[in-house]
């Protein structure tokens, strides 16, 4: 049985400064491209048969530089893997939001509020990633499946893989250019590797 390789895109200007990046389509920084290139030999050493990629530029470029779109892997762009829609919190840092509210803010307990976009609840994101997992599970019989996307959406997907509520994504920080492994222990879904970097 294969594993799910969850890959967070490389660094962008906003990820570097801690600004929440949902619908804004930013490119990778040069060192973000370096992050993606360092993933290539690691991913090439795994039996990856399929890749599902967020449509955002930062994820697509990461997948390309990591070797997932060069023809050796069957890949698709999956809109269900876009990042959380942060609504009015788009482009803002946790510190800025907390100052405005006069108390610490957390996506995991407070959620989003409408702005130029409606924002999303954790439940709405969980519904999206549950659909992704429904598509991925049958493919694991043939090897690994890579998911190239964004920090919060992949954390929620990880929680759902483990049978937890979406708010449990708080437990799984994932840095840019890092990957995690979702597999099995005795046929039970398990976290088999997490927040792993490349040399």
Q: Which residues are catalytic?
A: 9, 83
CA–CA separation, 54 and 2 (whole Å): 21
Which tokens belong to 196? 């792993």
CA separation for the pair 167, 178 (Å, rounded): 21
Distances from the Cα of 160 to the Cα of 43, 131, 132, 153, angstroms: 23, 11, 11, 11
Strand (E) or helix (H) holding 14: helix 13-17
Classify residue 76 as exposed, middle or buried by CB count within 10 Å of its CB (0-12, 13-18, 19+): exposed
Q: First vs last Cα of the chain: how many Å apart?
A: 27
Strand partners, 183: 190
């Amino acid at each position: 049985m294969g594993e799910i390789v969850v890959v967070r895109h490389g660094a962008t200007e906003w990820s570097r400064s801690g600004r929440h990046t949902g619908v804004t389509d930013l490119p990778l920084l040069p060192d973000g491209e370096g992050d993606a290139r360092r993933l290539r030999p690691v991913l090439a050493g795994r039996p990856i048969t399929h890749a599902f990629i967020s449509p955002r530029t930062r994820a697509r470029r990461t997948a390309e530089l990591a070797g997932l779109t060069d023809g050796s892997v069957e890949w698709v762009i999956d809109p269900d893997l876009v990042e959380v829609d942060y609504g009015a919190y788009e482009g803002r840092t946790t510190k800025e939001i907390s100052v405005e509210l006069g108390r610490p803010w957390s996506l995991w307990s407070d959620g989003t509020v409408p702005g130029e976009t409606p924002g999303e609840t954790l439940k709405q994101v969980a519904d999206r990633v549950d659909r992704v997992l429904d598509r991925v599970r049958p493919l694991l019989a043939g090897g690994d499946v890579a998911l190239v996307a964004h920090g919060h959406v992949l954390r929620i997907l990880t929680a759902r893989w483990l049978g937890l509520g979406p708010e449990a994504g708080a437990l799984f920080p994932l840095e840019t250019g890092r990957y995690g492994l979702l597999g099995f222990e005795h046929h039970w879904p398990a976290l088999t590797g997490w927040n792993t970097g490349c040399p």
